[in-house]
């Protein structure tokens, strides 16, 4: 029974912490207060015998080091771990009674090392274990368990190194280590430097170099450098001896005579100018880069190795930039369909025919043309077999009773646009930019012409047909006059007398209509059927040139637009003087049984 007011409650029990708690009593007839006494921790003491300083961990946390006295530990089960630097870790679970009860643990830590006996001959060598000095041989070393790296050092001797697997508490005795006498040291220099050095046949570096040589015996030292006479020396050093040696290598030279055209060219050797290119040189017998240069010409660069006693002559003829560029392209190319292409070198020439030439027509105005871009042209006309890979159902048909549709005969009855679309198809197969694009429902070719496949321009066709082989331009495919020589090509001949009105009665080529492409001899460039077999579509729209300007036209490609396209070359239907001439110009916008095409493209 308590009057209302504030009171302090004190409770005490053995094994528990004293409790002191304030309460407030009110006017209520009945009140209850509840309090709990906290049990005291246990007092834990741990000893590890002669080993002191071992770290004690309880439930993963460090609580002190041995000897540990009366550490307060909460009652219950705990994970105990003891670690000492040179002993195996100890681990166990312990139960702590608590309530202030003292508990003592005596724990023996097992060593984490083993005794290893080490001797050397001679004795007195300094032992290092994992880089730390331990003592001098002979000795017994306490080595921690694991793989240890051992070194023995003794003045005047080579350092001995070895690895040793140590197991805890398992003593070992190593075999006596015989220390070899220390190497001698040879510091080798040469003139010139960077010479290769071999000792007893084994490469040891480049001068200047410091060499370790086993003492007490002869070593063969060979010093070599390209372009110099090798030098060999026999060297013997005592243990620990240091010596310096400098060797001079004699240069070996060879004679090189340079003959260069055109005159006035400049000579460079390894990038350094030597003056006029035409001269005689004495050069070190090593590879040199010899270069001849002249403004307006492509430089010529050659790697030459002079040979002593064997004079050499280097002949150089510089190419113009254009010639060098052309020389970088292969003379023959091949399309994805296997069609051969011939590289054509550009040039300047006269298109058309003079007014007084027999058979000349009014549209053959003389004009000067300059081709600057190298190009490839099809060696043969496109065949039925090749065209049908593009248009599977195409047929070239018949003429009278004779077929024009054999696989290796030139494809005919193709329009200009069909020929152009074939060129674009071939470009696409080879990932080349197409030349012809659709504009307003027609195929046109934007300028400058792209590098994909196309029809040859009229100027290119004339250059290939008339001006290859040197001398005067060809009037006819076979030469300057009529009648054609035997096997000159496929024209309207005696074979076709029953199906054609006008023929060359004294000429027989063996075919009434078209012939397999390449059946007759090619021209000087290696191109077949530039006259005869079938006439050919060219790239150009048809137009009549005024012929008034004397300035050359550069890479002409015809008018920008028109209804008709130019047709060049005679066919198996032609026999007249006008049509057989290589300057003959025809035009059209439809299909014919004697009209096909060949392909061309720029190199770049």
User: 215-242: per-residue pLDDT in tens?
Assistant: 989 999 999 999 999 999 999 999 989 9
Q: What is each CA distance from 444 to 436, 526, 560, 569, in whole angstroms?
A: 5, 30, 8, 23
How far apart (Å, rounded) are the C-alpha atoms in residues 239 and 215?
5
The predicted-structure confidence for 144-171, as pLDDT tens digits, reads as follows: 999 999 999 998 899 999 999 999 999 9
> What tokens does 246 get?
């400098």
pLDDT of residue 410 exceeding 90: yes
317/319 Cα distance (integer angstroms): 7
Per-residue pLDDT tens digits for 470-516:
778 999 999 999 999 999 999 999 999 999 989 999 999 999 999 99
Q: How confident is the model at residue 371 (pLDDT cuts 50, 70, 90)?
A: very high
* pLDDT interval class at 437 (50, 70, 90): very high
d(CA 217, CA 184) in angstroms, rounded, equals 11
Report the alpha-carbon distance of residue 10 to residue 8 in Å, rounded.
Answer: 7
Q: Give residue 27's pLDDT.
A: 86
The C-alpha atoms of residue 517 and residue 527 are separated, in whole angstroms, by 11
* Beta carbons of 534 and 596 less than 8 angstroms apart: yes
pLDDT value of residue 182: 92
197 or 85, higher pLDDT: 197
Per-residue pLDDT tens over the stretch 89-116: 999 999 999 988 999 999 999 999 999 9
Q: What is the 3-state secondary structure (H, E, C) of 505-564?
A: CCCCCCCCCCCCCCCCCCCCCCCCCCCCCCEEEEEEECCCCCCCCCCCEECCCCCCCCCC
419 close to 597: Cβ distance less than 8 angstroms: yes
Q: Kindly state the average pLDDT of the residues 522-535.
A: 96
The yes/no answer on whether domain 329-604 falls in CATH 3.90.1580.10 is: yes
What's the pLDDT score for residue 548? Answer: 62
**Residue whose token pair is 């021209």:** 523
Same fold, 42-106 and 253-319: yes
Residue 549: the pLDDT is 66
> So what's the pLDDT on residue 503?
95
Residues 6+ apart with CB under 8 A from 30: none
**pLDDT exceeds cutoff 80 at 14:** yes
Is it the case that residue 24 has pLDDT exceeding 70? yes
Would you say residue 68 has pLDDT above 80?
Answer: yes
- Whether the pLDDT of residue 391 is over 70: the answer is yes
Q: Do the Cβ atoms of 55 and 46 come closer than 8 Å?
A: no
Higher-confidence residue: 551 or 520?
520
pLDDT in tens, 36-64: 998 899 999 999 999 999 999 999 999 99
Cα 67 to Cα 61, 72, 245, distances in angstroms: 17, 14, 67
Q: How far apart are CA 437 and CA 440, in angstroms?
A: 10
* Beta strands, E only, 364-490: 367-370, 375-378, 398-399, 402-403, 437-439, 442-444
Contact 459, 514 (CB under 8 A): no
Q: What is the helix, strand, coil percentage profile of the chain, to 5?
A: 5, 40, 50
Q: What share of the chain has pLDDT > 90, as a percent?
A: 89
CATH number of 184-248: 2.60.40.1120
Question: What is the tens place of the pLDDT at every residue in 545-576?
Answer: 887 667 899 999 999 999 999 999 999 999 99
Mean pLDDT of the chain: 94
CATH architecture for the domain at 113-178: Sandwich (2.60)
Residue 273 DSSP symbol = E
What is the distance between the alpha carbons of residues 514 and 405, in angstroms, rounded to a whole number? 9
pLDDT at position 326 is 80
| Fold of the domain built from segment(s) 253-319 | Immunoglobulin-like (2.60.40)
CA angle 570, 573, 579 (to 5 degrees): 35
Domain residue ranges of the chain, discontinuous segments joined by +: 1-38, 42-106, 113-178, 184-248, 253-319, 329-604
pLDDT score, position 409 = 98
pLDDT band at 327 (very low <50, low <70, confident <90, very high): confident
Residue 542 burial (CB count, 10 A): 20
Peptide bond into 122 cis (omega under 30): yes
Say whether 420 sits in a helix, a strand or coil: helix
The closest of 153, 112, 147 to 133, measured between CA atoms, is 153
* pLDDT surpasses 70 at 76: yes
CB count within 10 Å of CB 286 equals 17
DSSP 8-state class, residue 157:
B
CATH topology for 42-106 is Immunoglobulin-like (2.60.40)
Half-sphere exposure of 233 (CA within 13 A, CB side): 16
- Mean pLDDT across the stretch 514-543? 96
Spacing of C-alpha 471 from chain mean position: 47
Q: How many CB atoms lie within 10 A of CB 8?
A: 8
> What pLDDT shows up at residue 29?
78
């Amino acid at each position: 029974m308590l009057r209302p007011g504030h009171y302090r409650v004190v409770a005490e029990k053995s094994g528990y912490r004293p409790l002191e708690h304030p309460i407030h009593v009110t006017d209520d007839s009945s009140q209850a207060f509840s309090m709990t006494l906290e049990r005291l921790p246990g007092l834990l003491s741990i000893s590890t015998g002669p080993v002191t300083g071992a770290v004690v961990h309880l439930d993963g946390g460090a609580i002190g080091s041995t000897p540990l006295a009366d550490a307060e530990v909460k009652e219950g089960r705990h994970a105990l771990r003891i670690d000492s630097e040179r002993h195996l870790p100890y681990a166990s679970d312990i139960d702590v009674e608590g309530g202030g009860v003292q508990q003592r643990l005596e724990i023996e830590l097992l060593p984490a090392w083993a005794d290893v006996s080490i001797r050397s001959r001679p004795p007195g060598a300094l032992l290092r274990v994992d880089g730390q000095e331990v003592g001098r041989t002979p000795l017994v070393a306490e080595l921690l368990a694991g793989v240890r790296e051992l070194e023995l050092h003794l003045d005047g001797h080579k350092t001995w190194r070895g690895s040793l697997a140590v197991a805890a508490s398992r003593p070992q005795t190593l075999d006596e280590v015989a220390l070899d006498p220390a190497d001698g040291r040879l510091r080798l220099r040469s003139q010139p430097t960077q010479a290769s050095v071999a000792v007893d046949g084994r490469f040891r570096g480049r001068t200047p170099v410091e060499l370790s040589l086993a003492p007490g015996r002869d070593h063969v030292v060979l010093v070599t450098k390209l372009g110099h006479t090798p030098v060999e020396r026999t060297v013997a050093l005592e243990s620990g001896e240091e010596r310096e040696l400098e060797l001079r290598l004699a240069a070996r030279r060879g004679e090189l005579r340079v003959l260069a055209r055109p005159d006035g060219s400049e000579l460079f050797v390894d990038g350094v100018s030597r003056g006029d290119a035409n001269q005689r040189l004495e050069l070190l017998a090593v590879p040199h880069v010899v270069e001849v240069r002249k403004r307006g010409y492509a430089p010529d660069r050659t790697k030459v190795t002079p040979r002593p006693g064997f004079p050499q002559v280097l002949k150089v003829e510089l190419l113009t930039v254009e010639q060098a560029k052309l020389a970088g392209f292969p003379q023959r190319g091949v399309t994805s369909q296997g069609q051969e292409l011939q590289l054509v070198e550009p040039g300047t020439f006269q298109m058309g025919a003079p007014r007084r030439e027999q058979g000349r027509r009014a549209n053959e105005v003389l004009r000067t043309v300059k081709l600057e871009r190298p190009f490839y042209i099809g060696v043969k006309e496109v065949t039925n077999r090749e065209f049908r890979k593009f248009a599977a159902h195409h047929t070239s048909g018949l003429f009278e009773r004779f077929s024009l549709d054999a696989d290796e005969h030139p494809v005919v009855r193709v329009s200009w646009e069909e020929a152009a679309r074939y060129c674009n198809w071939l470009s696409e197969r080879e990932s080349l930019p197409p030349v012809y694009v659709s504009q307003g429902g027609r195929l046109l070719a934007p300028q400058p012409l792209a590098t994909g496949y196309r029809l040859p321009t009229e100027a290119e066709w004339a250059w290939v047909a008339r001006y290859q082989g040197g001398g005067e331009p060809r009037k006819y495919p076979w030469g300057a006059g009529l009648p054609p020589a035997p096997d000159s090509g496929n024209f309207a001949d005696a074979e076709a007398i029953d199906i054609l009105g006008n023929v060359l009665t004294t000429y027989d080529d063996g075919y009434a209509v078209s012939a397999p492409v390449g059946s007759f001899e090619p021209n000087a460039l290696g191109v077949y059927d530039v006259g005869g077999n079938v006439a050919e579509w060219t790239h150009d729209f048809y137009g009549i040139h005024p012929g008034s300007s004397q300035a050359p036209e550069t890479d002409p490609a015809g008018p920008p637009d028109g209804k008709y396209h130019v047709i060049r070359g005679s066919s198996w239907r032609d026999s007249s003087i006008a049509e057989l001439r290589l300057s003959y110009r025809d035009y059209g916008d439809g299909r014919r049984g004697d009209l096909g095409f060949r392909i061309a493209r720029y190199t770049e």
